[in-house]
Amino acid sequence: MKKIIGVLMVVVAVAMAMPAQAQIKFGVKGGLNLAKADFDKSDFKTSNFTGFFIGPMVDVTIPLAGLGLDGALMFSQRGIKADGETEKENGIELPINLKYNIGLGSLASVYVAAGPSFFFSFKDDIKIDDNTSWDIKKSQLGINLGAGVKLLKHLQVGVNYQIPVGKTGELTFKDTVTGAKNSYKSKVWQVSAAYFF
């Protein structure tokens, strides 16, 4: 929680320091999540879980510097596919990215972006069967790396890779001698489109 408050304070300070010529746009962002779990010590066969995300977005740009900041508050669907089992995980995602825009004329520009992403899961522990349970972290932190294109001043299309900071959850096997726990991290690819009003 202290990390979240610290990051939000930095974002507010940057927003207050931005010059008056900054352009602020509001819009809606949506797209696909492709999440894949990597287990620490297991031979599980994992594959991509496909989900979606959607929610309101704000984009702040300083025209002369090419720098900007964007943030969104989205309903996000993630999950895990391992050994034929699928578990869906819904939650709220809050990405905050620092962006650098390169203009290609009045109709288009490209951007690169990076920043933290916070995910707050709606799920707790899930009992898969009598011997196996899935423990999900309620709050997860990731680092975004992304790039994309802005078109006609209203449309943005991008791709994003999210690297987890810390574990996403654990699978616990109660039928073993030690009650083995297998932690994992979910790495997420995102393909998005946003429309600004």
For 132-191, what is each residue's pLDDT tens digit?
Answer: 777 888 899 999 999 999 998 899 999 999 999 988 888 776 655 555 777 888 899 999
Q: Which domain holds residue 79?
A: 2-196
Cβ within 8 Å of residue 148, ≥6 positions away? 110, 111, 113, 156, 157, 158, 159, 192
pTM: 0.79
Task: Give how many domains the chain has, as a whole number.
Answer: 1
Q: How many CB atoms lie within 10 A of CB 154?
A: 12
Model pLDDT, residue 148 = 96
| Per-residue pLDDT reduced to its tens digit, 92-107 | 999 999 999 988 777 8
Confidence of residue 114 (pLDDT cuts 50, 70, 90): very high
pLDDT at 126 over 70: no
Q: Of all residues in the chain, what percent carry a pLDDT higher than 70?
A: 78
Retrieve residue 49's tokens.
């879980």
Does an H or E element contain 99, and which?
A: strand 85-103
Retrieve residue 34's tokens.
């492709």
CATH number at residue 159: 2.40.160.20
Model pLDDT, residue 10 = 59
| Per-residue pLDDT reduced to its tens digit, 1-41 | 566 556 555 555 555 555 555 789 999 999 999 998 888 76
- Higher per-residue confidence, 193 vs 176: 193
Model pLDDT, residue 181 = 76
> Which segments within 104-179 are labelled E, that is strand?
108-121, 125-129, 132-136, 139-151, 155-165, 169-173
Instruction: Report the C-alpha gap between 164 and 135 in whole angstroms.
Output: 16
Model pLDDT, residue 51 = 94
Model pLDDT, residue 182 = 78
Instruction: Report the C-alpha gap between 90 and 80 in whole angstroms.
Output: 11
Model pLDDT, residue 81 = 79
Instruction: Answer whether 157's CB lies under 8 Å from 151's CB.
Output: yes
Is residue 108 exposed (0-12), middle (13-18) or buried (19+ Cβ within 10 Å)?
Answer: middle
